[in-house]
Amino acid sequence: MTEQTPVTEEKSAKVPALPDAQTVTEVKHYTDRLFSFRCTRPSTLRFRSGEFVMIGLMGDVNPKTGKQKPLLRAYSIASPAWDDEMEFYSIKVQDGPLTSKLQHIKVGDEIILRPKPVGTLVHDALIPGKRIWFFATGTGFAPFASLLREPQTYEDYDEVIITHTCREVGELTYGRDLIESIRNDEMLAELMGEDFHKKIRYYPTTTREESAKMGRITDLIRSGELFEDLEIDPLNPESDRAMICGNLAFNLELKELLEDAGLEEGANSKPAQYVVEKAFLD
Ligand SMILES: Cc1cc2nc3c(=O)[nH]c(=O)nc-3n(C[C@H](O)[C@H](O)[C@H](O)COP(=O)(O)OP(=O)(O)OC[C@H]3O[C@@H](n4cnc5c(N)ncnc54)[C@H](O)[C@@H]3O)c2cc1C
Ligand SMILES: NC(=O)c1ccc[n+]([C@@H]2O[C@H](COP(=O)([O-])OP(=O)(O)OC[C@H]3O[C@@H](n4cnc5c(N)ncnc54)[C@H](OP(=O)(O)O)[C@@H]3O)[C@@H](O)[C@H]2O)c1
């Protein structure tokens, strides 16, 4: 008699596929606090460049119930709407419930991705203008990594100015590399015309490590140094549109500066001159 395969035992030992599972296709680490990854895209998922979704992993087994619950967090989609895959740019919080684990994902692993995109950092929430500003700190760069690869950004505006403020130089790498790759992107050049990349003005600054440009962007706006450096007129409500994504204090300070310059906050339901979203809670 041939040996029987212990079917039941083998089945129950298998880890169940995650709900809304997507497979990780690439992981890149930048610093001990930052990494990016790409994963498969659900075939039915439609989103607007700049939106965010909930992603995560299964949480630990609850010793009382023996059950696991998904551990989900909001994440800006860093890839543009036309991309076949999804990209995310993430913090690593050493004692963070999700990112203490997420930082260890590898190609072939599964993550959970709830296919319900939302958010205010979308072109639909702005009225037409000439210049668009993307103001980011830290991982707040993520939605702009999407919008900088979105053809509509270059169709709608003559100038695209991205400011990114981080504590240290290494924290600028993801953004710097991305802008370099956009400048050499043949597909975007074919779609938008050879010179589309000349519309991009990149203005990275650091606050706690020496770099070519130091200081908080808010201070550089107040002093006028930002406009002097870029050789452009200060903010004005006729031509300028803006999107803000950073920590709460940064968002509030920048909102005040934009309001002082005469810009009004917009929303999906009521487009206006600027929009804002938190890069993380608290
Ligand atoms: C609309 C929205 C979009 C977001 N998009 C992103 C994104 O694209 N990339 C990303 O890394 N995070 C993003 N976040 C934050 C994200 O939801 C989680 O907070 C983060 O992944 C950490 O999860 P955690 O469970 O490890 O720790 P949490 O318990 O969620 O956070 C622990 C602490 O870490 C700090 N922290 C959390 N997130 C960040 C961050 N991104 N940068 C610096 N400090 C942080 C905060 O002080 C927080 O209290 C977003 C949050 C919101 C509200
Ligand atoms: N980045 C790190 O190396 C590091 C290391 C360990 C722990 N953490 C913790 O992680 C959390 C997030 O840190 P983070 O560096 O990712 O993000 P962050 O504290 O939001 O800082 C990101 C950048 O935004 C600037 N900024 C902060 N508030 C601003 C405001 N109101 N107006 C203008 N610019 C402003 C910061 O300048 P300033 O430097 O002037 O504040 C910094 O250059 C913090 O709680 C921090 O204590 C960070």
Query: pLDDT tens digits, residue range 16-74?
Result: 467 799 999 999 999 999 999 999 999 999 999 999 999 999 998 999 999 989 999 99
**Ligand 2 atom nearest to 166, measured from its CA:** 43
Of the ligands numbered here, which is closest to the C-alpha atom of 33?
Answer: 2
pLDDT averaged over every residue in the chain: 93
Task: Provide mean pLDDT across the span 181-210.
Answer: 93
Residue 139 alpha carbon to ligand 2 centre in Å:
10
Residue 174 pLDDT grade (very low, low, confident, very high; cuts 50, 70, 90): very high
Q: Which of 4-8, 70-74, 99-103, 111-115 has the lowest mean pLDDT?
A: 4-8
Helices (H), the chain: 7-13, 99-102, 142-147, 151-156, 173-183, 186-192, 217-223, 225-230, 248-260
- Beginning with the edge strand found earlier in the chain, give each strand of the sheet holding 131-137 in spatial order: 200-206, 159-166, 131-137, 240-246, 274-278
pTM of the model: 0.94
Residue 15 pLDDT grade (very low, low, confident, very high; cuts 50, 70, 90): low
**Whether pLDDT at 282 is above 60:** yes
Determine the pLDDT at residue 44. Answer: 92
Of the ligands numbered here, which is closest to the C-alpha atom of 135?
Answer: 2
Residue 193 alpha carbon to ligand 2 centre in Å:
37
Q: CB count, 10 Å around CB of 157?
A: 21
Ligand 1 and 276: CB distance under 6 A: no
Of the ligands numbered here, which is closest to the C-alpha atom of 79?
Answer: 1
**Whether pLDDT at 119 is above 80:** yes
Q: Is residue 111 within a helix (H) or strand (E), and if so which, with residue range?
A: strand 110-118
Determine the pLDDT at residue 12. Answer: 46
**Whether pLDDT at 2 is above 50:** no
Beta strands 70-76 and 52-58: pairing type? Answer: antiparallel
Determine the pLDDT at residue 191. Answer: 84
**Ligand 2 atom nearest to 219, measured from its CA:** 33
- Closest residue CA from atom 17 of ligand 2: 138
**Whether pLDDT at 203 is above 80:** yes
From 91, 113, 120, mutation site for ligand 1 pocket: most ligand atoms within 8 A of C-beta? 91
Task: Provide mean pLDDT across the span 117-144.
Answer: 98
Residues with CB under 6 A from ligand 2: 33, 137-138, 165-168, 207-208, 216, 218, 247, 249-250, 253
**Whether pLDDT at 3 is above 50:** no
**Whether pLDDT at 261 is above 70:** yes
Q: Which of 1-15, 210-224, 247-261, 264-278 has the lowest mean pLDDT?
A: 1-15
Per cent of the chain over pLDDT 70 is: 94
Task: Provide mean pLDDT across the span 204-214.
Answer: 98
DSSP notation for 206-233: ESSS--SSBS-HHHHHHHSHHHHHHT-P
276 contacts 245 by C-beta, under 8 angstroms? yes
